[in-house]
Structure 1
Amino acid sequence: MDLMKEVKEGLSSSPKYIPVSLRYDHQGSEYDEQCLHMEDFYHYRADVDLIKSCAKDVISQLCTPCKLFDIGCGNAKKSQFFLDELLQLQNTVEYAPVDISKDFLDEVCNALRHTYGDRLKIDPMADDFFRALSKIRSYRGNKALLWISGLQVFPKDMQLDILSKFFSALEGNGACMITADITQSREAIEKAYLNFDEENPCAKLYANGFHVLNRMFEANINVSQFKLEGRYVEDKDVSSASYLQVWMRSLCKQSYEIDKLGMTISFEEGEKLMLHGGNGLSHKYTISQLEYLFEKAHFRILKIWKNENSALLLCERKK
């Protein structure tokens, strides 16, 4: 969806919201990077430990040689465990990292070129998630799709559709490698994601969507007139998942004209501006919930690796 259209749709909804993708400009990507090194942010370390321990086994089950498409690559540190294993099997590897921020992606690619030299043939894709998948679908060679901790960010009512788009991007012997957060400790989750101290990089990341809205669309919203809040919602139903909700609460009655969007937005005192669409973000799954979701998307799960906080699913299209 066009970003301007998506933002207008969100600000016209009830409750109002701004899309998660808005916060991931270059500054937002840097905040995200800082979150990874926080002591309470368990998920990054859990993903690293899991991927490091199983990367060789995962890659051994792929049909190689293949081109690796890394959806939402971030700093690509975790992806390098897979690249290292692929380079044990192939003289060169075609690698297509995908990120919405071109500036951040350029920095990541330069670092990878320094590390791997000519052995890594980098084909960066600075694009949003859905356009990137459309381009990946048109690639006719053998391919593997890597998506590290990305599914859980999207609202629950979008996840099946997103996995279906992954399904349509695969063909032949192609495979998907997807990680997800399976943490079930409320205490650990709330410490990691619901610390709203203004110096906390996670809080800065949440609020960054607000700042991008102001800068990109000249909204001039007074951020000091809002308070960052959130909650964790637990859901054990096999067809669902637990999740977080995060919002900015208006501290007074206020109104703003946003000429670039051709609209005026008003807030009542106490009204919430959600920092995501749909039910929530950062979903936490049980293994049964993941199996149910992937079954609905017509994937066949070949194998699941897991530790206390993370799971990696290797899957293919059902024949």
Structure 2
Amino acid sequence: MHTFEQLATFIAVYENGSYSGAASALGKSRTTVREHVMAYEDTLGYPLFEIVGKKAVATDKAEQLYFRAKVVEKQSRELFDYSQALFSSDVHTLTITHDVFVPLNLMVETEQSIKQAYPHLVVNWLHRTRQEALAMLKAGTADFSLMLNRGKVFAETEIAWKTLGHIHLNCYARPESPLAKMEQVSLAHLQTETQYISENFLTLNVDFAKVSPRLHVVSNNDVLCELIKQDGWAVMPKEYMSAYLLSGQLAELSLQELPGSKMIGLNVFFPIGKEIHPVFTNVIECLVQKGCEMLA
């Protein structure tokens, strides 16, 4: 029977393509990694890798074994996280991280609902990048994270999530822009103008976010909006741009290739097992309910 350590080592060698790479990823010595693989091969009765130079090339049997091994490893980690969550103490503080595109009214109304249900609970709202938010969830320094969906089946780490609804994306420019004066704008037209892109979109690699070869990256959305008042255009969430449209400072572009809005999901992410605590369960339900109401 294999051990979990042997399984994890096999997966690390397979994914890194070498014993040295696996050793670095696991924080172990190359010798230890090789010993675990050899012990697993002895248990199985066949080789898993062929050494070609400095590379560990997976055998046909290893190729067939990898996916099932990955599933077992993932489930084992999730079981551990869930078992740890059973020992959670009483909740006194709630920390929620969010990216810059989460609608303000969603956060404000969630805060009000939490205060009504739990008057003594301290709620922290922290703006973080996706990488920072995921690290905080894994380390237990954040309880939830509100972030856009990357369009992938699995998250980057072992966490759970629920969908809150969809953010609607459109293209925007200043009213005086040649683009804004066109009845319909083609992607070819957009490629001739400077495009400002939010760092959030660049990190997520959202489809349709990168169009123009003249791409300027901006971290702050308010700065981005001020820039496109002067020149160029940007893909932005419709919910975020409504005030600029109402005041006439910016205009929404009508695209030939994309009638209507491009939609991207907004999720609440949380550590596995978090939902078993009644306070966290209620917060998740509150977010899902309000998200469905606001982001239908």
TM-score calculated relative to the size of structure 2: 0.32
Q: Under a length normalisation based on structure 1, what TM-score does the superposition of the two structures give?
A: 0.31
State which structure, 1 or 2, has the greater radius of gyration over its C-alpha atoms. 2
